[in-house]
Amino acid sequence: MSTRNGPLTFGVLGTAGIARKAVVPAIAASDHAVGAVASRDGDRAAAFAEAQSIPRSYGSYEALLDDDELDAVYVPLPNGLHAEWTTSAADAGLHVLCEKPLAVDAAEAREVTDHCDDRGVTLMEGFMYRYHPRTERVLELVERELDDVRTVTSTFRFPLYDRPDDVRLDPELAGGSLMDVGSYPVSLVRTVLGEPDRAYAHANDSRDAGVDTELAGVLEYADGRSARVASGFDTQLVQRYRIDATNGWIEVERAFDAPADEPVELTYEIDGQRGAETFDPVDQYRLQVEHFADRVANGADPLTDGAEAIANMRVIDALAESAADGGAVDVS
């Protein structure tokens, strides 16, 4: 297990698109490096390694975890496999950056978090949007400028067409739009408003896949505040949120998967004054990697640590239960 302050060498468990397009390039662009990649298909791992200039590849996840030259692993596997391979990596003494959601439910997220704590490794859930300077600025405005935030509305939908075998449509792998893109609106709402008391949701399975392909939910707070969240695979891309307070509002478009090569904005009206702020292009995945490495070096908890993952899953669990049963559910 790495305890040094120098660059980290990562292993990558899986060859998912998010690893290929975003996280492996982000690690390569940082002071850190990817030392190995594994797949259950050795040829696929070798091809991925060649394309990404990764020195070693393995035909099993177990073989990668035995690589003594690694300090940490990145886990972009399907949702249903996150817990198993995060705990296996912790057993190997490796720090873990795991894609969201950390586990299939809050109980499993707690088990994984406790396991990593017991093994003394750093655990971080990959909510990259939390590390973007625009998100940091939004939270600063909420804290310093907005009076009494009353409601938040947040949506993340994208078209998942003509891909019937996509893992996000597989109930055995904890698929569904809520678990995939819906976790971002839930995270945003909780970051702004705190933990809700009750959840209500309606879902639809337009593909007869056994998972939700659309979900709309309401989160209620005992003091009268509320939030609305939505996710889906059946419409065009939309990812936005709006925060409304007694003295104004903040709106953000392209809110979660912000482009690394284009500027992004936030708009607001506070105390009668309208404004817009523009942020230079930045790779939020690289910022996420650098935050993780910094917390490993310092032995400190990441911003999106296991406790945060458990709290997010509590709300996701409540929304899923409400969608299945048809009534409001207490967020326990």
Let me know if residue 305 belongs to a domain: no
The pLDDT value recorded for residue 1 is: 45
Rounded to 10 deg, the angle between the 306-325 and 183-193 helix axes is 110
Kindly state whether residues 149 and 257 are assigned to the same domain: yes
Rounded mean pLDDT, 37-58 = 98
Shared-domain flag, residues 136 and 266: yes
Domain CATH number, residue 216: 3.30.360.10
User: CA 213, CA 219: separation in Å to the nearest integer?
Assistant: 20
* Six token digits for residue 278: 């523009």
Does 17 share its domain with 40?
yes
Confidence band, pLDDT 50/70/90 cuts, at residue 161 = confident
Q: Are residues 237 and 259 in the same domain?
A: yes
- Is there a single domain that holds both residue 208 and residue 249? yes
Residue 221 lies in a domain: yes
Q: Does the CA dihedral 292-298-300-303 come out positive or negative?
A: negative
Q: Which residues contact 2 (CB under 8 A, 6 or more apart)?
A: 8, 71, 72, 95, 296
Structural domain including 111 reads: 9-128
Domain finish residue from 99, 128, 157: 128
Question: Does the pLDDT value for residue 186 go beyond 70?
Answer: yes
Both 135 and 192 in a single domain? yes
pLDDT of 162 strictly over 80? no
3-state secondary structure of 2: coil
Residue 178 and residue 326 in one domain = yes
pLDDT for residue 2: 43
pLDDT tens-digit map of 225-281: 999 999 999 999 999 999 999 999 999 999 999 999 999 999 999 999 999 999 999
Please tell me the pTM assigned to this model: 0.96
Q: For 105, what's the count of Cα atoms within 13 Å in the CB-facing half-sphere? A: 8
Let me know whether 44 and 20 are in one domain: yes
